[in-house]
Structure 1
Amino acid sequence: MLTSVFCMRLNTYGVVIGWLGVIFSFLATILLSVALGFVDEIAQEIVKSAQKTDLTVSEVRTGLIVLLSVYLALKVINLLASAMLVVGTVKERHLLLLPWLINNGVILVFAIITHIGVWAQVIGSQMPFLSAVPIILISVGILVLTWYLYYGIYSLFKQIQASSELQRPLIPPATQQTNSYPSYTKI
């Protein structure tokens, strides 16, 4: 497990990533809401600039509404997961980090699939090898960085989980006497 990410303690890193997620998700939510408000104008511009003449404004409008609505829902989920990451890090509650881990784990899986598709397309094209190398290296770098950032939050999750189990065990050890009702199973 990691003890720091980019020279930051894991708690600091968790709060920074959480706040960045909250800010960017909030801005994306506003932007997507505005785009949904102007979906008719956007659809008309897409049809005007499209090379295909068989596209109608109503088809493009329907596609845009579905796409923007799904993306808006995902950004709201990301906003809530990032806020829970901040709260879970500050209050040291490992279960509050799970929504962020699940959400970004799914995003990481889709990113891996997308990068493999990009690699296959670049390798399968007639592009010279020296022109394809920078694209593949940048893609691998982005994927490794994303995995490293995710692993940092996972390490924070494990650290908080281990410290909470040490602080508050659910069942006291058998050798420790507690002030409770007597146990009649020891006859």
Structure 2
Amino acid sequence: MLNSVCGMRLSTYGVGLGWIGVIFSFLAVILTSIGLGNADELARQIVEENHNTKLTVDEVRTILVIILSIYLALQVINLLASGMLIVGTLKERHLYLLPWLFNNGVTLIFGIITQIGMWVQLSSVSFTSALPSILVSLVTITLSWYLYYGIYSLYKQIQRTSDLQRPLIPPQSSARNYEGLPNNQ
């Protein structure tokens, strides 16, 4: 497990990454909402710019609304997961980090699959011309995995300390005291 990420303590890293996620997701929600509100104009412009397509404005608008709606839903989920990352880090509640871990784990898996698909497509190109793309994708995947592993390490650290502070099953003598019964019953 990591003790720090990029020289930052895990809790500082978790809060910082959470705020970055909240800010970018919030901006993406606003921009996507504007795009959905102007779907008619966007569809008309797409059809006008691409004269060789056989799609009508209504078909392009439908496709655009579907894609933007899915993207909007994903960004709202990311916004909530990033917010929970902040709260979970500050309150030291490891379960609040799970939505972020799940959301970004799925994103990381799809990113790896996409990169492998890109590498397969690049196999028809000469190696020297494909090398920059392959190196950039390897660096991106490695950095994404490192950042994800940092939050996973934070999750395990908070989980470890919270298990020590709040055991799931209280000791038998204190359980009787909670019920208001004397210890000898």
Q: TM exceeds 0.5?
A: yes
Output the TM-score relative to the length of structure 2.
0.93
Residues 166, 118 of structure 1: alpha-carbon distance in 2 compared, 3 angstrom cutoff: same
State the alpha-carbon separation in 1 of the partners of residues 75 and 184 from structure 2.
52
Within the candidate set 160, 166, 169, 1:168 is matched to 166
Q: How does 1:4-19 map to 2 (within 5 A)?
A: 4-19=4-19
Match of 1:145 in 2: 143
Tell me the distance in 2 between the aligned counterparts of 1:142 and 1:49: 33
Matches of 1:144 and 1:53 in 2, distance apart?
39
Task: Give the C-alpha shift of residue 159 in structure 1.
Answer: 0.2
Q: Name the counterpart of 1:36.
A: 36
Residue 104 of structure 1, CA deviation: 0.5
Q: Which residue of 2 aligns with 1:27?
A: 27
* CA positional deviation for 1:128: 2.1
Matched AA of 1:110: F
Amino acid at match of 2:169: I
Corresponding position of 2:89? 89
> What count of residue pairs does the alignment treat as equivalent?
180
Instruction: Measure, in 2, the Cα distance between the counterparts of 1:91 and 1:55.
Output: 52
Change (3 A) 1:56 1:157: same
CA RMSD in angstroms, aligned pairs only: 1.4
Please give the alpha-carbon distance, in whole angstroms, between the structure 2 residues aligned to 1:85 and 1:67. 27
Closer/same/farther in 2, CA of residues 80 and 48 from structure 1, 3 Å limit: same
Aligned to 1:99: 99
**Distance across 2 between alignment mates of 1:142 and 1:117:** 15
TM-score for both structures, normalised by structure 1: 0.92
Task: Give CA deviations for 1:83-120 in whole Å, capped at 9, x if unaligned.
Answer: 00000000000000000001111101100110000111
* 1:134 alignment partner AA: P
For structure 1, which runs of at least 5 residues remain unmatched after alignment? Answer: none
Post-superposition shift, 1:76? 0.4
Partner residue of 2:154? 156
Partner of 2:115: 115
Quote the Cα distance in structure 1 between the aligned partners of 2:131 and 2:184.
Answer: 70
Give the deviation of 1:51 after TM superposition.
4.5
- Counterpart residue identity of residue 142, structure 1: T
User: In structure 1, what is the Cα distance between the partners aligned to 2:184 and 2:140?
Assistant: 58
**Measured at CA, do residues 164 and 135 of structure 1 come closer, stay the same or move farther in structure 2, by a change above 3 Å?**
same
